[in-house]
A = this chain, B = another copy of it.
Amino acid sequence: MNIAVLGTGIVAQTLASALATRGHAVAIGTRDPAATLARTAKGSFGQPGMSEWAAAHPAVRVATFADAAAGAEVVVNATSGSASLAALTAAGAANLDGKIVLDISNPLDFSKGFPPSLSVANTDSLGEQIQRAFPGARVVKTLNTVSAHLMVDPNQLADGAHDMFVCGDDPGAREQVAGWLQAWFGWTHIVDLGDITNARGTEAYLLLWTRLYGRLGTATFNVHVVR
């Protein structure tokens, strides 16, 4: 498939690399490709700068948001929450129309340090804001509840016996995404929550996730819904 991954952080790098390894045609979308490719400083999680990363991943094209999205069958929003609406606007509504937009972002506000609060919460969510801003896109919120290395390899933890949530207004898109999560990364425990307002639940869960992360001292964890 032709897949656009918007963003250049640890989540975007991890997803783009995993998808390219599986044979997909991946384009990373960024505001200014030349500036991105010149970036040598390591990222905030110690990941390589995009200059080094791009050299190590020659199969992944680095393009503008709009260029990456234009040729894509599916668009993955892996930008930080505070940049997501601007990135998708730069990608262009026409380049999202009718497409599934996999929204992985979280509206984390680190302005007061760790643990973060959310910049939108409780009675609204970033997933809903994105769906409202791009009514022609089929937004499916998922993967936002685990760290990047678990997103692409759930079976490294308890043989995959932990849960991934999907939500979005289009039932067919949710089903399609569940199939991709399994085919791409091996997710077998997928909970379909329903419409995009459920993003209020999965984004708010980050208020617990970040505190569990602080307490457990590892990001290699996830919840399993026992029933």
Give A residues with C-beta under 8 Å from B. 115, 117-118, 121-123, 157-158, 161-162, 191-194, 198, 200-202, 204-205, 207-212, 214-216, 218, 220-227
Contacts and interface: CB of A to CB of B under 8 A. Distances in A.
A93 to B, nearest CB: 28
B224 A226 contact: yes
A216 B227 contact: yes
A165 B226 CA distance: 15
Copies in the assembly, this chain = 2
Given A122-B207, A218-B227, 5 more contacts: A193-B212, A194-B215, A201-B207, A204-B207, A216-B225
A225 to B, nearest CB: 6
A215 B167 CA distance: 11
Contact of A223 (B158, B202, B207, B226): B226
A190 to B, nearest CB: 12
B191 A201 contact: no
Contact of A191 (B202, B204, B215): B215
Nearest to A195: B211
14 contacts: A117-B122, A117-B200, A118-B122, A122-B122, A122-B207, A193-B212, A193-B215, A194-B211, A198-B211, A204-B205, A212-B225, A216-B225, A221-B227, A222-B226
